[in-house]
Amino acid sequence: MAGSSEEAPDCGRGVVIMDDWPGYDLNLFTYPQHYYGDLEYVLIPHGVIVDRIERLAKDIMKDIGYCDIMVLCVLKGGYKFCADLVEHLKSISRNSDRFVSMKVDFIRLKSYRNDQSMGKMQIIGGDDLSTLAGKNVLVVEDVVGTGRTMKVLLSRLEKYKPNMIKVASLLVKRTPRSDGFRPDSHMCDQ
């Protein structure tokens, strides 16, 4: 199965943001005026995010081996991260001697109703998931919290017998409720 449930070191393949990190002073950055008065600091500068996404794309291409990829974007939060990651993957493909075909599909996962876990997860959207058979699948998620939802998704996807499943996440929350799941690639632990 994709990802890992083993106890991994916090630094893994991502940037670690310590709990006591005060962030960057707002005077170091420009930001839209409608945020004035609402922000206290910048936790992760945009440039760091862009650089990490580019590095994630390189790691993913190395892990998957320049093979065709079926990207499965988990909406809604994963959209922008997925779009940026796919652009970097395409750029790597264009600049290599091997063209990598990428198809993107979108799903929503529903396991909560009014902030309460329903205990059962629904996969909403996505074309016929049976088309994942034999494919290299990259699941792109914005935030992995406890890891339980991702584990359920991965077990459901495994039923379609893809060649491989990898998980890329923008953020991994450090939470005492975590089941230890770690995505294959992620930008940072928060």
Give tens-digit pLDDT for 10-52: 445 678 888 888 999 999 999 999 999 999 999 999 999 999 9
The DSSP H or E segment spanning 16 is: strand 15-16
Would you state the CATH architecture of domain 44-189? 3-Layer(aba) Sandwich (3.40)
Q: In this structure, are residues 121 and 155 in contact, taking their beta carbons and an 8 Å threshold?
A: no
Tell me the pLDDT tens digit for each residue of 103-162. 999 999 887 666 665 567 788 887 788 999 999 999 999 888 777 888 889 999 999 999
Cβ neighbours for 20, distance < 8 A, ≥ 6 positions apart: none
Q: Where are the domains of the chain?
A: 44-189
Which of 94-98, 130-134, 164-168, 181-185 bottoms out in mean pLDDT, i.e. has the lowest? 181-185
DSSP string of 116-148?
Answer: EEEEEEEEEE-S-GGGGTT-EEEEEEEEESSSH
pLDDT of amino acid 120: 77
Q: In this structure, are residues 188 and 16 in contact, taking their beta carbons and an 8 Å threshold?
A: yes
Query: Tokens at residue 108, please?
Result: 């929503």
Q: Where are the beta strands (DSSP E) in 52-183?
A: 69-75, 102-113, 116-125, 136-144, 164-172
- Distance from C-alpha of 140 to C-alpha of 53, rounded to nearest angstrom: 12
- Distance from C-alpha of 64 to C-alpha of 1, rounded to nearest angstrom: 14
- Distance from C-alpha of 118 to C-alpha of 101, rounded to nearest angstrom: 37
- Distance from C-alpha of 187 to C-alpha of 14, rounded to nearest angstrom: 5
Longest CA–CA separation in the chain, Å: 51
Tell me the pLDDT tens digit for each residue of 82-109. 999 999 999 999 998 888 899 999 999 8
Name the residue type at position 51: D
Asked whether the whole model's pTM tops 0.75, one would answer: yes
- Distance from C-alpha of 147 to C-alpha of 184, rounded to nearest angstrom: 13
Task: Residue 30: count other Cβ atoms within 10 Å of its Cβ.
Answer: 7
pLDDT of amino acid 139: 95
